[in-house]
Amino acid sequence: MSSNNKKVWLITGSSSGFGRALAEAVLKHGDRLIATARKPEQLNDLVNQYPETVKAVRLDITNKTAVKAAVDAALEAFGRIDVLVNNAGYGLIGALEEVSDEQIWRNFDTNLFGAINMIRAVLPILRQQKSGHIVNMSAIAGFSNELGFSIYGGAKFALEGVSEALHGEVAPLGIKVTIVEPGPFRTDFIGRSLDRAEHSIDEYEQTVGEFLQFLDKIEGTQPGDPDKAAQVLIQVVNSDNPPLRLVLGKYAYSKFRKKIESLTAELDAWEQIAASTDFETVGSHS
By annotation, the residues acting in catalysis are 138, 152, 156
Q: In 3-state terms, the chain is what percent helix, strand and coil (to 5)? A: 50, 15, 30
DSSP 97-148: TTS-HHHHHHHHIIIIIIHHHHHHHHHHHHHHHT-EEEEEE--GGGTS--TT
Q: Where are the beta strands (DSSP E) in the chain?
A: 8-11, 32-37, 54-58, 83-86, 91-93, 132-137, 175-182, 194-196, 245-248
Question: DSSP state, 224?
Answer: B
Q: Rounded distance, CA 61 to CA 107, Å?
A: 12
Q: Which residues of 161-177 are buried (b: 16+ CB within 10 A; e: fewer)?
A: ebbeebbeebeeeebbb
Q: What contacts 258, CB < 8 A, 6 or more positions away?
A: 144
Tell me the residue type at 30. G
- Closest of 97, 64, 169 to residue 126, by C-alpha: 169
Q: Which DSSP helix (H) or strand (E) runs through 6?
A: none
Estimate to the nearest angstrom the gap between the alpha carbon of 198 and the chain centroid. 25
